[in-house]
Amino acid sequence: MSDVIDAAEADRALKAKHRAMWALGDYPAVATEMIATLGPILVDSCDVLPGDRVLDVAAGTGNAAIPAALAGADVVACDLTPELLDTGRRQAERAGAKLEWRQADAEALPFPDGEFDRVLSCVGVMFAPHHQASADELVRVCRPGGTIGLLSWTPEGFIGQMFATMKPYAAPPPPGAQPPPLWGSPDHVRSLLGDRVTDVAARRQTVRIDRFPTPEAFRDYFKSKYGPTIAVYKGIAEDPEMVAALDRDLADLAQRHDQGTKTTVMDWEYLLLTARKRI
């Protein structure tokens, strides 16, 4: 019994750490300035229609939820971090979108079985630490015949490589936690969803990032605004040599991916995967 209690307490502590991490910096700015186009792409790929009941899991500020609501769907946006939901509410109001916002853990969604016609996540659920638990919840809350749509950074793409670059500088993950970019592997996602889904369609695409004048400008932006990067730097703040090494490694990563001439231009790869829940 004590082992069960210890595991539950460890999970609560881990989720609290995740909530705090995503509240660091300014993720809403990252979502708006870097990847605003991705939510509408996911919504279109899932054929969201007026009247559909839609759940956006790990919604952040509503990158997919707000476009789904503007398409006429009945939308619930849920996320572990309430600060992101607060920003999402304000953004939705400015856009004229009406939807429900709920704080929720992707690994334990507070919704009935088969509640939604479309269950989406745009670079969100991939960051929940226990992949199978999250996948089970995505399937559970989707109605039979409904659509599950996921957009995730690939391991081989820029963001996947950024996490690989930061890994040597970060604290070891807790037992059982899996790397987020695995959700960008079609085989991994198929194994998570299993035979509970049919009509799986997966394709790799890219989003162009061209707002940074230099690789160093990219690094400094993520150091100040992106929660996972900020958290890694906080962990090594007392070691100037490690900070300098990570500074170099992140700038070098951006340099290797740079396709620009006068400014830094990068194409960040993601996996767009849709599936239908088996009837």
Q: Is residue 127 part of a domain?
A: yes
Measure the CA–CA gap between 195 and 201, rounded to whole angstroms: 14
Query: Domain range holding 141?
Result: 2-208+268-277
- Any idea what the Cα angle at residue 202 is, between residues 200 and 206, rounded to 5°? 160
Measure the CA–CA gap between 7 and 85, rounded to whole angstroms: 28
Question: CATH no. for residue 141?
Answer: 3.40.50.150
Pairing of strands 142-153, 264-277: antiparallel
Could you tell me which residues come within 8 angstroms of residue 2 by beta carbon, excluding any fewer than 6 positions away? none
Residue 27: predicted pLDDT:
96
Q: Is residue 223 part of a domain?
A: no
Is the pTM higher than 0.85? The answer reads yes
Q: Is residue 51 part of a domain?
A: yes
Which strands make up the sheet holding 116-122, listed edge to edge?
Answer: 100-103, 74-79, 53-57, 116-122, 142-153, 264-277, 197-212
Residue 131: predicted pLDDT:
98
Q: Is residue 89 part of a domain?
A: yes
Q: Is residue 78 part of a domain?
A: yes
Q: Is residue 156 part of a domain?
A: yes
Q: Is residue 221 part of a domain?
A: no
Measure the CA–CA gap between 28 and 35, rounded to whole angstroms: 10
Q: How is residue 55 written in tokens?
A: 């759940």
Residue 1: predicted pLDDT:
59
**Whether the Cβ atoms of residue 192 and residue 135 lie closer than 8 Å to each other:** yes
- pLDDT per 10-residue tile (average), the chain, 279 residues: 66 90 95 96 98 98 98 98 97 97 97 98 97 98 98 98 98 91 98 98 97 97 97 97 98 96 95 97
> In the chain, how many domains are there?
1
Could you tell me which residues come within 8 angstroms of residue 185 by beta carbon, excluding any fewer than 6 positions away? 154, 155, 271
Among the residues of 194-238, which ranges form H helices?
215-225, 227-235
Residue 242: predicted pLDDT:
98
Q: How is residue 137 written in tokens?
A: 């919840």
Q: Is residue 8 part of a domain?
A: yes
Residue 140: predicted pLDDT:
98
Measure the CA–CA gap between 212 and 263, rounded to whole angstroms: 6
Interior/surface letters 73-82, b for 16+ CB within 10 angstroms, e for the rest: bbbbbbbbbe
176-208 pLDDT, tens digit each: 899 999 999 999 999 999 999 999 999 999 999
